[in-house]
Amino acid sequence: MRDLGAEPPPSEQQSTGRLFSDVGAWRAILLAGLAVTLAFVVTALPIMVSGRNPLLAYWALLRGAVGSVDAVAFAFNKSTPYVLSAVGVAICFRARVINIGSEGQLAVGGVAASWIALHLSQLPSLLLIPVSLVAGGVAGAVWACIAAVMRIKRGVHEVLGTLMLNFVGTLVVSEVLHGTMGEPGAGFPQSPLFPQSAWLPSLFPGTDMHVGIAIAVAAVVATHILFWHTPFGFRLRLLGSGDNVAAYAGASLVRGMLQVMLIAGGLAGIAGAIEVLGVHYRLIEGFSQGFGFNAVAIALLAALNPLAVLPAGLFFGFLEAGALAMQREIGVPSSLVFVIQGLTMIFVLCAMGVGFKQQRI
Amino acid sequence: MLEMRGICKRYGTVQANRNIDLTVPQGRILGLLGENGSGKTTLMKVLFGMVAADAGTIIFKGRPLTDHRPGDAIAAGIGMIHQHFMLVDAMTVAENVMLGWKRAGLWLHTREISQLIRNASKTYGLDLDPNAVVGDLSLGQRQRVEVVKAILRGADLLILDEPTSNLSPPEVAGLFLVMRRLRNEGRSVIFISHKLGEVLEICEEVVVLRDGEVTGQCLAANATRSDLARMMVGRDISALVQRPAFESRKEILSVDRLTLRDRSGFERLRDITFSLNEGEILAIAGVDGNGQAELVDVIAGLKSATSGRISLAGQEITSEDVRARLTAGIAYIPADRATTSLVPGMTIEDNLGLRDFDRPPLRRGAWLNRVAFRREANSRIAKFGILCAGPNALVQTLSGGNQQKIVVAREIGRRPSVLIAFQPTWGLDPGATRFVIDEVLSLCHGGGAVLYVSSELEEVLTLGDRIGVMFNGRLSRVFGRGEVDMTRMGLMMAGHDEGPDREDGGKS
C-alpha cells in the first residue's frame, strides 16, 4: 500500500505564521522590512497633516537614534529593559501563560536593587552590583509568583493577577519613596543618589552604554537554549500545545506555570534593577511605566521566538530614542512613535499570517 | 443531479485529483471508496467549495458551480458532513444548528429552530434533544447533529465523509435508515468510506478512487468485496489475522472495583473489575461514550479513580502519575491523535520523544540529547516504515495513517509490559489498520499484554483472546473468543444483557 505521503496542510488550519520558517529567513526579514517601511509611510500622513515634512522628521529620528555614539549608547540602554522583559513574556506565552505583569515585576525589582544599593553600600562594586541585580531578579520572580499562585490555588486568571499586580508594584515604589527610601528635601519622589560603587559600569569606557545590554543578550541566548535544548523547555512547549497532550506526556501544568513565571519575573526584575542602577542611579517614581505592555508587543512581534526578541526589542528601543530627538528638532510629538510601533506590529502580524507554514512549536 | 467532469487538483508535487469524472443521479446513494490519500476527500472539498480545483467543471441541478465557497454550495443544496465534526462543544444542539444560518434570524428564533430539530429528529429517527450541550454528546450523537444541520438547510445532495467510524452496529443501521429515507425523498447521498462491507450494504453504485484516479465504477449489486478491494488497493487484501488459541499465563494487570465519579457526580465507571495476563489481548467493545475513554484514561494515569485499585505485576499503582506508570511499563495509544497523543506543530523527532524526553538516552543531564533524538527517530522511521520528508518534518504534514504510525512506533517501540490501545485504527485505511494490528500482535507474541478498546466490532472479535463489552460504565462478563458473535455483542453494546451473568468479574 502506498500512502500518498504528505497530506497538504488544509488552509483553514493556519493560525500564526512563523517569522523564520524553513523556507527562508531572508524572506522573513524582507517581509519585516516591508512592514516597517509601510508603517513609516502610513505615519507620514498625520505628520503631513500637521504641516511638517515627514522626511525631515524621519531624518531627525534617524539621527536621534544612530546619529552619534552617544545616541547609539542611549538607544541600547533604552532597549535593554524591553528585551529582558519581552523574552520572559515570550516563553510565558509559549507555555500559554498570559503574563502581562512585566511592569510590576520591573518595579519591585528596582525597589529591591535600590534597597541593596543604599543599605549595603559598604560592599565593593564587584559584589554590590551583582548582589543588587540578583536582588532585583528575586523580587521580580517573587512578584510574578504571587500571580501564579493565585491562579493555581484560586483559579484567578493570570491576566487579571499580573495586571493588577502591575498597579500594586508601581504603588510600592511610590510608597517607599514617600517613606523609608525617599530623599529628604527633594522636590520629586526619588531616592538618594546611589553611591558610585553601585552604578553599572559602562560597556565601552567613555560612552553612556552600560553593561545591561550584554546581560540582555546573554538572557536572550540563554532563554533560547533553555527553550529548545533542555527537558525543561520541552515541557514548556508541551504545556503550550494543550492541556491534553501535556497531561499525556506527564508535564505538570502547575510546576510549568510556576517555573516560567519565575523566569519571566526574574528577568523583568533584573531589567528594573538595571534601570535604577544604570540609567537613573536612583529609584524614581514612575520609572517602570510602559514597560509591561511594550514587552508583550515586542514578544508578539518576535513571534514568540526568544532569539527574535533581540532585534524586535532593539527596534523599539531605537525608535523611542530617535523619537525624542524628532520632537526636539522638528516639533513632531514623540508619541507619534507609538503609532509607528503599533503599525509595525500590525503589518508584521499580517505578514506572518499570510501564507506561511504553521509555526514550529 | 450532479456532474463533475475532469476535476484536477494538485498540491505541490502531489496530484490529488487526476481528471476525475463523477455523476450522481437524483435519488441515488453512491459510494466513494478509496484509501487515505486516494483523493476522495479532496474531490469532495472541491465539490463543496472548500478548495478550488485547478481544472474541471461541476454542474449541480442543471446549474454550473464555479469559484464557489461552501456558503454557495450550501445555498445550492449541497450538505457536507465531515469526518471531523465542525461543532462547537460549548453550545447546545440548537445553537450549533443556528450557527451561520440566515434563517435563524437577526433575533434568534431558538424555539422555532428547536421545534424544527425535533420534527426532523422524529422523521429521520435521529433522537436529538435541541437543548443538549454538544460537548456532552457522544460521537455518534454529534454526527446526528451534523446530519440534522444539513437536512434543515435543505440539502438535496448529502456528502457523508467516513460517517461510521465511531458507530455501533445499531447506530450504523440507524444511519443507513436515515440515508434510505433521504433517498426515497429524491435526495442523493455520497457515502465516502473505506469499509467495503458497509459500502456494499447501503450503496447502489460504487466509484473507486486510487491515487487520484477513478479505478473502477460499478453497481453494488454486481460487485464483490474482493473486486472492490482490488480496485481500491491494487491487490488482494489477505484475510484478517488468525489467532492461535490462548493458553493462560501470568497475570500482569489487575483492576479491582474501579469507580469514577465525574465532577457532576455522575458515575462514569462503575465497579470495573478485570485482569489481564501476559501475552493476552483483552478486547473491550462498546459504543463510544459508555465509559471506555474514562477507563483507559484512569488505567494510563491521566485521571484518578474515585475508588478502586489498579496493580501492575503485583505492585499497586493506583496513585501513581503518568510518568511513573510509563516507567513501570504501561504504554498508551489514545483515541485522539490531534490533541492528545501527538503535537501536530512539533517535528516527528520531537513527537517520537514526547513521553521519554525526561530520561536517558534522550536526556543527558540538564540537556536534551539531540543526537539521540535524531538517532531514535531515524531508526523508528525506518523500522515502522513511516512515510515522511524526514525526522525534522512537522507531524501535521503527514497523513492520518502515518501519524498513527508515529504513535505506535513510540508506544510499542519501547516494548511495554502493558499496552492500552483506544480506538487505535480510527480513521485509518485498511493498509494502516493492518499495520497497527500487526504491531499489536507482535507485541503479544513477545509477551506483552494488550487492553484493546475499540468500537470496531470486527477487530474486537478477531483480536481479542477475551472479549468484554462496556455499557453505561459497567463492564460485562468477559467471554473467551468464540463464545460470542456479532449479534450478541451488538445487543450487549445496546444494553440488552442476559440475566445473571452481568456482574461476573473478568478473572480468568
Of B39, B355, B393, the CB nearest to A250: B355
Which pLDDT score, from 0 to 100, does residue A119 have? 92
Q: Is A16 on the interface with B (CB under 8 A)?
A: no
Q: Is B343 on the interface with A (CB under 8 A)?
A: yes
A203 by Cβ neighbours in 10 Å (0-12 / 13-18 / 19+) ranks as middle
Q: Is B16 on the interface with A (CB under 8 A)?
A: yes
> Is the Cβ–Cβ distance between B48 and B69 less than 8 Å?
no
Q: Is A23 on the interface with B (CB under 8 A)?
A: no
First to last CA, chain B: 57
Measured CA to CA, the distance from residue B463 to residue A95 in angstroms comes to: 41
CATH tag, A16-353? 1.10.3470
Q: Is B213 on the interface with A (CB under 8 A)?
A: no
Q: Which residues of B touch A7 (CB under 8 A)?
A: 37, 397-400
With a pLDDT cut of 70, the percent of chain A lying above it is: 90
Residue with cell 508619541: A335
Measured CA to CA, the distance from residue B383 to residue B367 in angstroms comes to: 27
Q: How far is B373 from chain A (nearest CA, A)?
A: 11
Q: Which residues of B touch A5 (CB under 8 A)?
A: 14, 37, 387-388, 398-399, 402
* Half-sphere exposure of residue A70: CA atoms within 13 angstroms, side-chain side: 2
Quote the cell numbers at residue B504.
Answer: 461476573
Measured CA to CA, the distance from residue B31 to residue B254 in angstroms comes to: 45
Across the interface, whether the CB atoms of B16 and A4 are under 8 A apart is answered yes
What SS3 string covers B399-468? CHHHHHHHHHHHHHCCCCCEEEEECCCCCCCHHHHHHHHHHHHHHHHCCCEEEEECCCHHHHHHHCCEEE
Across the interface, whether the CB atoms of A248 and B322 are under 8 A apart is answered yes
A337: left (phi > 0), else alpha (psi -120 to 50), else beta?
alpha
Across the interface, whether the CB atoms of A250 and B399 are under 8 A apart is answered no
- CA distances B328 to A335, A346, B316, B325, B386, Å, are 61, 50, 11, 5, 27
Which pLDDT score, from 0 to 100, does residue A177 have? 93
With a pLDDT cut of 90, the percent of chain A lying above it is: 51
Measured CA to CA, the distance from residue B83 to residue B163 in angstroms comes to: 6
Measured CA to CA, the distance from residue B179 to residue B158 in angstroms comes to: 9
Report residue A9's pLDDT band, with 50, 70 and 90 as the boundaries: very low
Of B38, B355, B367, the CB nearest to A229: B367
Single-letter amino acid code for the residue at B403: Q
pLDDT score of A52 more than 90: no
Of A8, A234, A360, the CB nearest to B394: A360
pLDDT score of A354 more than 70: no
Q: Is B375 on the interface with A (CB under 8 A)?
A: no
- CA distances B107 to B114, B130, B506, Å, are 15, 18, 56
Domain residue ranges in chain A: 16-353
Kindly give the confidence (pLDDT) of every residue in chain B, 508 residues in length, as a single tens digit, with 9 standing for 90 and above: 888 888 888 876 667 788 888 889 889 999 988 766 678 878 888 888 888 888 888 998 888 888 888 888 888 889 888 777 788 989 998 888 888 777 767 777 788 888 888 988 888 877 888 888 988 887 777 888 888 888 888 888 999 988 876 666 777 887 888 888 888 888 899 998 867 778 888 899 999 887 788 888 888 888 877 677 667 665 434 445 556 666 667 889 999 999 998 877 778 899 999 999 998 999 998 877 778 889 999 999 998 999 999 999 888 999 888 888 988 999 999 988 878 899 988 999 999 999 888 888 888 888 999 999 999 999 998 888 888 888 888 888 888 778 888 999 999 988 899 999 998 887 777 778 888 888 999 898 888 999 999 877 778 888 888 999 888 888 888 888 878 776 777 677 766 665 444 444 433 3
* Chain A residues 97-156 within an 8 A CB cutoff of chain B: none
> A143 or B220: which carries more pLDDT confidence?
A143
Measured CA to CA, the distance from residue A146 to residue A158 in angstroms comes to: 10
Q: Which residues of A touch B398 (CB under 8 A)?
A: 5-7
Residues of chain B with CATH 3.40.50.300: 2-233, 251-343+415-503
Report residue A346's pLDDT band, with 50, 70 and 90 as the boundaries: confident
Quote the cell numbers at residue B396.
Answer: 501535521
Q: Which CATH class is domain B2-233?
A: alpha beta
* Chain B residues 111-170 within an 8 A CB cutoff of chain A: none
Across the interface, whether the CB atoms of B334 and A248 are under 8 A apart is answered yes
Residues A230-241: tens digit of each pLDDT: 999 999 999 998
Measured CA to CA, the distance from residue A86 to residue B11 in angstroms comes to: 38
Q: How far is A269 from chain B (nearest CA, A)?
A: 25
Task: Quote the ipTM score.
Answer: 0.79
Largest CA distance in chain A: 86
pTM (2 decimals)?
A: 0.73
In this structure, the dihedral spanned by the alpha carbons of residues B466, B469, B475 and B476, taken in order and rounded to 10 degrees, is: -80
Which pLDDT score, from 0 to 100, does residue B500 have? 42
> Is the Cβ–Cβ distance between B120 and B103 less than 8 Å?
no
A229 by Cβ neighbours in 10 Å (0-12 / 13-18 / 19+) ranks as middle
B251-343+415-503: in CATH 3.40.50.300: yes
* Chain A residues 245-274 within an 8 A CB cutoff of chain B: 245, 247-250
